[in-house]
Amino acid sequence: MTAPVTRRGKNGAMDLQVLRSFQAVAEGTTVTDAATDAGITQPALSRALARLEDEVGAALLQRVGRVLRLTPAGRVFKEYVDGMLDNYDRGRRAVAEMVHPDSGVVSLAFLHTLGTWLVPRLVTDFRRTFPQAQFELHQDGEMGLTRHLLDTTADLVITSSDPGHPLITWRRLLVEPLRLAVPARHRLARRRRIRLAEVAEERFILLKQGYGLRDITAALCREAGFTPVIAFEGEEVETLRGLVAAGLGVSLIPSSPDITAASESPIRYLEITDVRGARDIGIAWLSSRAVPPIARRFLDHALRTSADRATPMT
């Protein structure tokens, strides 16, 4: 039996773009927007997607209301398209890094709270040595960072504590202090230090379940002999700061250099003395996947920078 012949564009580029457009539409992009991204008209992309379905031999997309959804065959096909495009992109990247080992793209994901001080400092210092290096940056919470590694959408992640995943290697970079944040008009605001046990009756503003800082806060409160009374659960440390400033409760906040201690600040940050008010900050990568050359250089830079400092980066 003769195998069917797959139609190709003159140089194969259009077929690859059609697959990228199919991937985008399958993930929720409209055909109009996908066509704009591809630099073609909407009717042209619609015809290309129809030809793709003819080549595959099954309907891949179906209209549900005003949007297109994957058919069962489309869901199966998309898994292979995702893998193929990922391998193609990684192949191009590997060749580019072999030809230009001091350039390339470092795909880095990191905690939101590290985007104002640690990551900019590491990137700036690194680019002094490797000025041609480019960065693809992602911000996320703890669980999202692990997914970035497992989905290979990031080469490296900077996160707090070891993810504890068998496929991930983690190394400590520094220890970041945690401070008790209280409103400027709080009864304890004039203090510089405090035992965490002293605020056992206060209302706490915490991150939601699943965030590393939430687990650390709960553990420190248990160590201090109480379970925190929760006033609010958020998804961003900046939200915690804002609600503390509004007088709605207290919170354990990372004491990074971006935190201001100015007298006009609506928040005061108190050192904790009865428990270890700190969290580890580290860098992680997939153990089973070779870290690309330029990303390996950045990894070595981050580890060397932390090793060269006797105290945390503050």
Phi, psi angle pair for 28, to nearest 5° = 115, -5
Please check whether residues 213 and 123 belong to one and the same domain.
yes
Q: What band does 59 get if pLDDT is binned at 50, 70 and 90?
A: very high
Q: Give the model's pLDDT for residue 308.
A: 62
In a domain, 1, yes or no: no
- The answer, as to whether pTM is greater than 0.85, is no
DSSP per-residue codes, 195-224: -GGGGTTSEEEEEPTT-HHHHHHHHHHHHT
Please check whether residues 120 and 266 belong to one and the same domain.
yes
Please check whether residues 193 and 285 belong to one and the same domain.
yes
Structurally, the chain folds into a number of domains equal to 2
DSSP per-residue codes, 170-190: EEEEEEEEEEEEEETTSTTTT
- Taking only the tens place, the pLDDT of each residue in 164-213 is 899 999 999 999 899 999 999 999 999 999 999 999 999 999 998 878 88
Please check whether residues 205 and 173 belong to one and the same domain.
yes
CATH number of the domain within which 48 lies: 1.10.10.10
Where among 46, 73, 97 does a domain terminate?
97
In a domain, 2, yes or no: no
Classify burial at 77, counting beta carbons within 10 Å of its beta carbon; exposed 0-12, middle 13-18, buried 19 or more. buried
Where among 97, 127, 161 does a domain terminate?
97
CATH number of the domain within which 207 lies: 3.40.190.290
- Taking only the tens place, the pLDDT of each residue in 226-245 is 999 999 998 888 889 999 99
- Taking only the tens place, the pLDDT of each residue in 96-107 is 766 666 668 899
- Mean pLDDT calculated for residue range 269-289: 93
